[in-house]
Structure 1
Amino acid sequence: MSISELDVAPAGPPPRTPPERRARSMGALREELARLRARTVAGRPDGVARQHALGKRTARERLEMLLDEDSFVEIDIYRRHRAQGLGMDGRRPHTDGVVAGSGTVHGRRVFVYAQDFTIFGGALGEAHAEKIHKVMDLAMSTGSPFIGLNDSGGARIQEGVMSLNGYGGIFRRNVQASGVIPQISVVLGPCAGGAAYSAALADFTFMVQGTSQLYLTGPDVVEAVTGQRVTHAELGGAQVHGTRSGVAAFVHEDEEACLAEVRYLLSMLPGNNLEPPPAGPACGATHDARPRLAEIVPAEPSKPYDMREVIAEVVDDGDFLELHEGWARNVICALARVDGAVVGIVGNQPLVLAGVLDADAAQKAARFVRFCDAFNIPLVTLVDVPGFLPGTEQEYAGIIRHGAKLLYAYCEATVPRVQVILRKAYGGAYIVMDSRSIGADLSLAWPTNEIAVMGAEGAVNVVFRRELAAATDPAGLRAELLARYAGELVHPQYAAERGLVDDVIDPAQTRSAVARGLAMLRDKRKPGAQRKHGNVPL
């Protein structure tokens, strides 16, 4: 018998469920879902207690501190791993060890993940990584800042290469997002192995004293390979990365202060590279005299002072956020506002190594300049630099290569750029610190400025060494030559007469002059390309 000959009854609609049964069924499902969500959000009591005993917060507690109240929208709360064997079959907790989603900070949208150390030690597996990939993609597609709260033992061994593949996907997205949206990495526990690279690729890395650890290989591996015994803190603690490696831009005593600073940083950053930074109200800076500036900075070029006091007088309310405060302290990099507008400030620090530029200082300033340029933040450069640090140690450390990074960063920058020369600016260091010759839009100088190839003492010793060697009164001749050099080549108007300084200003007018200059440059044209460059970890 053929199919066509079969007497098949036509399929009818399924039997209808009575409304009261549907209601009861939906009500039961809602209750079950609510219980499951509540258990997942609450976490395992023993795991939560262990976190608190270590002085650490849970992933959800951290999100509550970071985000505006009731603004968090979680995604993939029921996600679970698919791994089998090696003890994973019966252990499939929801979230898979990472809480991911979106919220607001000061009312502005951000995307975020927080690794949950109470589940698999926060170790990253396939599902865990895919959740992070999803929020990173959403941050990119919406043009919103991305924040990672890291607390993880590293790759999940039981998932093998899929864990490594997950890290690779994060790194690729870090690079794609670089220079397009701000990326912030907050290390609140261990961050080992491949995970460390994501922190290094971020624009800003935060760490907490005592609990944060960031390294590629742990102490056990170091001892096995090199025989060297080292603690977690000595190898990759917050102090190490805040003062020696330069990986951590900010180091804090506790998680509360750390996450409060993340919120403050976000208040000065645009959502993406196509937006201007968020502006505050103008506060009359264009007519604000600060006579104390002349008291802070000694007229003698070799006397030290704290450049942070100068910055406090120039910016609104004396308030600025300094990056890498403990690393390469001979140069200062900070975000602040001038007349309500966000600016990036780079300044030599005469209190440390007399403010010379060395390899670390050049590297630190170069990356900051590139970040500001990528995100439309004008640059103000405060110059008091005796030169580059000489010596074999610096030459072997690649000071030429690192100095070239700073030079390249300034030459490439298209944002408004204002240079202020307070006292000395000698040699190649003058050129590198955003001189007119490499593209500064406005160059201002105090009457104490000395712009030259080198200081008077060095110049006289080089140019007139034969005359000094043959002189019957070398001390008298030296004094005469020093006065001649100063009078002819480094008098306050010398650079201004040649168009390399736009104005020689009263120190008290520095804040108002900078504010007027930034207002003049506010509409400086920017390239039309969507992306100028990434923020490579120099």
Structure 2
Amino acid sequence: MSEDRTMAALIADLRARQARAREMGGADALARHRASGRLPVRERVDLLIDEGSWFEIGALALPELRTAKHVPGDAVVTGFARLDGRHVGVIGIDSSIVAGTTAPTSMRKQGRLIEIAQRNGFPIVLLCDADGGRIPDVMGWRFSHLPLDFKTFLAPTDGGPLVPRAAAVLGPSYGDSALHASTAHFVVMLRSASLALVGPSVIEPATGEKLTDEELGGPAKALAVGNAHAVADSEAEAMDAIAAFLSFLPSNSSLPAPAAPARDPAVDPARLADIVPLGAKDGYDMYRVIEAIADAGSIFPWADEWGGSVITCLARIEGQPVGLIASQPIVRAGALDADALNKEREFVDLCDTFNLPIIFLHDVPGLMVGTSAERTGILKAYEKLALRISTANVPKIGVIIRKAYGGGHFALGGRPTHPDFLFAWPSAEMGFMAPDTGVRTVYRRKIDAVRAEAGDEAAAALAAELRREWETESEPWEAAAHIALDDVIEPGETRAKLVSAIDYAWGVRAERVRP
């Protein structure tokens, strides 16, 4: 060994290379990055993880195509850490250098991280902030040869358990970063961020459309179509949202969901009888009902801005994580459109995959109908949702609070989708159609004939009599008598009844996981 190849010299060389990798884009680039309102990627990682737990891999990676510009880590930081004491894998795009663009080496690093996390069964957190593919690194034949294997990118190749994925969109996120976000079970965006397949710089020469980042994929756009599930005002708030989301889920789908200390609900369950008005057309916020069922401080909305007539949220009841699905009467009276059905299907899949019991709260007038609903694909959305609910293996408990009509009832876990238990309040109304609409539809010719023969007053009297008969058939008593319901319960008993129903629905499985 030559004199300059001593171990001390080699260690000094290693340390110099490590220090250069930690410089990211360098002082000037980092200053510009901060001036844009964004934190450097390594500070983002520190905000997310438990202090002192960082275990990095691939720090010394470099681009396949080298230029005069030094690109530490090929513009991505990958490693493992603990988050609230649990293992996670972290991919953080370094947008302080070459705009965080993707090239073969960075893709290999990300794939390596994903493969290890999936194989060993712990969640993946994606910190997105990148302007798509890097030129010339992905030009021509190189694009087809990119080391992207969708088998390993999306799921374990050995058929092992699935792991939760959560993404924070912290800047303009296109191409690879957008793909990452599309795989995540939860996506939180900064108000200043954007998310789309490609960015404005690609769209304008391709289509002539000139757009800002916000116009293309800002939070308002991304939340409305389900590309993101929540918005944050700061990077610290975004990291807190990811930690909160993952706290409801097991590290992988083979494990039970983690329990927490039980808390009383924020609203006394005894108040439920007063929260919900008896008038079928009177509006109220279903979140007030949920606040009297779930543990205080545990409600975590999921995609509130998408398909707003149905609420999907994570929560805890007596410390146990659950998924709550409820119609929202203050949005289109709770009628379900294609967006609501698609959102619900994704949420059912999340809950069933990660072993969270599903609670359905019914106050639904039905599905949206008409040409607009059909053009948005409501029929196919309804069929896919009904099938996904039917095949879910976690406990499924339904409570009919007020009205449950037509396909809307089935879309919220009605009998044909095999709920473990189905209850109703005394205020419940059930049927294929609301009484007023049903009488007008079914008995229109009979009423018209009476009107022609005996006048408007006689027709109105007949319609009223038919409506009373319809309303009687819609009440929960005959449903309970024929075991179409498992029980009729007082509103104030709802939380306690759900606790027992979930316990018995799990049965005596060795662990509370789906078969």
TM-score where L is the length of structure 2 = 0.92
Give 1:214-253 correspondences, 5 Å limit: 214-243=195-224, 245-253=225-233
Structure 1 residue corresponding to 2:363, chosen from 380, 384, 392: 384
Structure 1 residue corresponding to 2:239, chosen from 248, 259, 281: 259
Residue in structure 2 matched with residue 11 of structure 1 by the alignment: none
Secondary structure at the counterpart of residue 382 of structure 1: strand
TM-score where L is the length of structure 1 = 0.88
Secondary structure at the counterpart of residue 61 of structure 1: helix
Secondary structure at the counterpart of residue 71 of structure 2: coil
Deviates more, 1:57-66 or 1:472-481: 472-481
C-alpha RMSD of matched pairs (Å):
2.5
Deviation at 1:79, TM superposition (A): 1.2
Contact 2:155/2:162 (<8 A) preserved: no
Q: Mind listing any 5+ residue stretches in structure 2 that lack a counterpart?
A: none
Deviation at 1:430, TM superposition (A): 1.1
Deviations 1:268-315 (A, max 9, x none): 111111001111134578xx9611111111011111110111111111
Secondary structure at the counterpart of residue 187 of structure 1: strand
Contact 2:17/2:60 (<8 A) preserved: no
Distance 2:44 2:201 in 1: 30
Secondary structure at the counterpart of residue 72 of structure 2: coil
* 2:269 corresponds to 1:290: yes
Secondary structure at the counterpart of residue 521 of structure 1: helix
Deviation at 1:30, TM superposition (A): 3.3
Secondary structure at the counterpart of residue 326 of structure 1: coil
Q: 1:164 to 1:69 in 2, by over 3 A?
A: farther
Give 1:345-360 correspondences, 5 Å limit: 345-360=324-339
Deviation at 1:170, TM superposition (A): 5.8
* 2:89 corresponds to 1:125: no
Deviation at 1:146, TM superposition (A): 0.9
* 2:430 corresponds to 1:451: yes
Deviation at 1:491, TM superposition (A): 2.0
Q: Which has the higher contact order (CA 8 A, sep 6+)?
A: 1
Residue in structure 1 matched with residue 126 of structure 2 by the alignment: 148
Structure 2 residue corresponding to 1:365, chosen from 337, 344, 359: 344
Residue in structure 1 matched with residue 471 of structure 2 by the alignment: 486
Distance 1:407 1:526 in 2: 29
Residue in structure 2 matched with residue 515 of structure 1 by the alignment: 499
Contact 2:77/2:91 (<8 A) preserved: yes
Secondary structure at the counterpart of residue 280 of structure 2: coil
Distance 2:478 2:293 in 1: 25
* 2:94 corresponds to 1:116: yes
Deviations 1:41-69 (A, max 9, x none): 24311121111100001110100011011
| Paired letter, 1:402 | A
Secondary structure at the counterpart of residue 230 of structure 1: coil
| Paired letter, 2:354 | F
Contact 2:60/2:73 (<8 A) preserved: yes
Distance 2:274 2:214 in 1: 42
Residue in structure 2 matched with residue 134 of structure 1 by the alignment: 112
Secondary structure at the counterpart of residue 420 of structure 1: strand
Residue in structure 1 matched with residue 412 of structure 2 by the alignment: 433
Structure 2 residue corresponding to 1:330, chosen from 290, 306, 309: 309
Contact 1:316/1:340 (<8 A) preserved: yes
Q: Percent of aligned pairs with the same residue?
A: 34
Distance 2:464 2:508 in 1: 47
| Paired letter, 2:218 | G
Give 1:23-422 correspondences, 5 Å limit: 25-43=6-24, 44-83=26-65, 88-160=66-138, 161-162=141-142, 165-166=145-146, 168-169=148-149, 172-176=152-156, 180-210=162-192, 212-243=193-224, 245-283=225-263, 290-422=269-401
Deviation at 1:527, TM superposition (A): 12
Contact 1:460/1:482 (<8 A) preserved: yes
Secondary structure at the counterpart of residue 476 of structure 2: coil
| Paired letter, 2:95 | F
| Paired letter, 1:337 | R
Q: 1:31 to 1:531 in 2, by over 3 A?
A: farther
Distance 2:406 2:235 in 1: 44
Residue in structure 2 matched with residue 6 of structure 1 by the alignment: none
Contact 1:133/1:170 (<8 A) preserved: no
Deviation at 1:219, TM superposition (A): 2.4
Contact 2:172/2:213 (<8 A) preserved: no
Distance 1:117 1:224 in 2: 23
Secondary structure at the counterpart of residue 62 of structure 2: coil
Q: Mind listing any 5+ residue stretches in structure 1 that lack a counterpart?
A: 1-13, 533-538
Considering only CA atoms, is the larger Rg found in Structure 1 or Structure 2?
1
The count of aligned residue pairs is 503
Q: 1:232 to 1:366 in 2, by over 3 A?
A: same
Contact 2:264/2:296 (<8 A) preserved: no
Distance 2:413 2:477 in 1: 19
Distance 1:162 1:336 in 2: 46
Secondary structure at the counterpart of residue 324 of structure 1: coil
Distance 1:420 1:374 in 2: 23
| Paired letter, 1:204 | F
| Paired letter, 1:514 | L
Secondary structure at the counterpart of residue 326 of structure 2: strand
